[in-house]
Structure 1
Amino acid sequence: MIQQYLFYTPVASIIFAITIAASLYTFSNQHLYGKLMLHPYAIARDRRRLYTIFTSGIIHADWGHLLFNMITFYYFGFALEQFFVASSGALGHLYFALLYIISLVLSDIPTIVQHKNNPGYYSLGASGAISAVLFSFILFQPKAMLGIFMIIPMPAYLFAVLYLGYCIWASKNANDRINHDAHLFGALSGLILTILLYPWIVRHFLGQF
């Protein structure tokens, strides 16, 4: 089974394994945990801290945060890499890696700009990149049924609309220590990058209705 994942979806497999391993390790290593978190205030004053844009995406706050993101990635990331490969051959693996990494960076830029003068603000988690993966998947399969909170069935295109609406509202109004901006800009990055890679995906998406 593991060999099949590595053969057919090597990029998703590596991301999945590294994220779980790094998160579990930092749960018991608070010093490293602090060094890997995104800290916009520090980045604005020391460009050597730019590496945290990437490292903050492989660690999580707690078990619940990790499990939610990894379950989402498991269901959509592996499938998306296969969609890319079906569309582009072996290059699809590279395209999937680029979508994930670029979206991770783009999802954090608004946070860095907004909180560059806030020394108490930190952020972590793969949610921005995973939102990109999810929304890229939705372009390929807009009518796929998603189980919201593992219970409520909903077509993917409707979920996308509600998700974006909630992220926009929450980024302005919520006070729950969740980086809703990363979710929003990650989702938008996934849509834009997928359209740039596969311009025909817009026609494919609309043709499903």
Structure 2
Amino acid sequence: MHPVLLIIIAVTAIFSYRGFSDQAFFRKYEFHIGSIRAGEHLRMITSGFLHADFTHLIFNMLTLFFFAPVVITYLGTIHFVIIYFGSLISGSLLSLYFHKNDYYYRAVGASGAVIGVLYSAILFDPDGKVGLYFVIEIPNYIFGIGYLLYSIYGMRTRTDNIGHTAHFGGAIGGYAITLAQVPSMLYENTLMVILLAIPIILLFILEKSGKL
């Protein structure tokens, strides 16, 4: 395992484990709209190192373990770190934007950062396979588009406790940062760039029309 990836997984696991048993610690560093709007902006990053439970933690870290090497191979360590933390912040910013008036809104998890890395990997390897539930294999690009559309649905219905907004924001971050770092993708992989942009455009159309 690449040292930087190992460090991110280890720190996240340690931080999350502390949060499982220390409620005060958990509340101090979680994403909480009221606290962030009161000036505690560091929560927008620290919340990405907390998880609700072991299942949440393991799923995110396994996803990162499988897809981070693709990004590291193509871009190197520094750019991988930029995408990881850029996606984490992008997810937090989108959550803050959509929930800015819900002062009690809380969230935790590295999902925004992990999804950002996943979408970066999809841009580099769209025809690779994602093991859905570790059983059904589907192409990366189908998973990517489907996940974004599902996230829009989740944001509209709000019938579960999944932080779809952070997931979507992370995907946007990973997508945008990767294209900024490798602009040649715009003409070398034009179809995939356009396909992944469609759900992002749809999100903002729905938001502007008041349907989210």
Class of the TM-score when normalised by the shorter of the 2 chains: 0.7 to 0.9
Aligned to 1:30: 23
Tell me which moved more, 68-77 or 167-176. Answer: 167-176
Matched residue, 1:40: 33
Q: Is the 8 A contact 2:95 2:169 kept in 1?
A: no
> Aligned residue for 2:150?
166
1:84 corresponds to: 75
Q: CA deviation at 1:11?
A: 2.1
What is the one-letter code of the residue matched to 1:56? S
Deviations 1:108-163 (Å, cap 9, x if unpaired)? 11211332332321111000010000000001100001111111110011111111
Matches within 5 A, 1:1-209: 5=1, 9-44=2-37, 46-47=38-39, 49-85=40-76, 93-206=77-190
- Number of aligned residue pairs: give it: 192
Q: Which amino acid aligns with 1:25?
A: R
- Cα distance between partner residues in 1 of 2:129 and 2:175: 19
Task: Flag as ranges the 4+ runs of structure 1 deviating above 2 A.
Answer: 113-120, 201-208
User: Aligned partners of 2:22, 2:118: CA distance in 1, in Å?
Assistant: 30
**Structure 2 counterpart of 1:37, which letter?**
E
Where 1:146 maps in the other structure, the secondary structure is strand
Q: Secondary structure at the match of 2:160?
A: coil
SS at match of 1:202: helix
Which amino acid in the other structure matches residue 36 of structure 1?
A: Y
TM-score of the superposed pair, with normalisation by structure 2: 0.85
CA distance in 2, matches of 1:173, 1:187: 20
SS at match of 2:41: helix
Shift of 1:179: 0.9
**Cα drift, residue 207 of structure 1:** 8.3
CA distance in 2, matches of 1:202, 1:68: 31
CA RMSD of aligned residues (A): 1.6
Alignment gaps of 5+ in structure 2: 193-212
Preserved contact between residue 154 and residue 160 of structure 2 (Cα < 8 Å): no
SS of equivalent residue, structure 1 residue 50:
coil
User: Percent of counterpart pairs with the same letter?
Assistant: 34
C-alpha change, 1:121 and 1:207, in structure 2 (3 Å) is closer
Distance 1:122 1:83 in 2: 35
Against the structure 1 CA distance between its residues 144 and 31, is the aligned structure 2 distance closer, same or farther, given a 3 Å change threshold? same
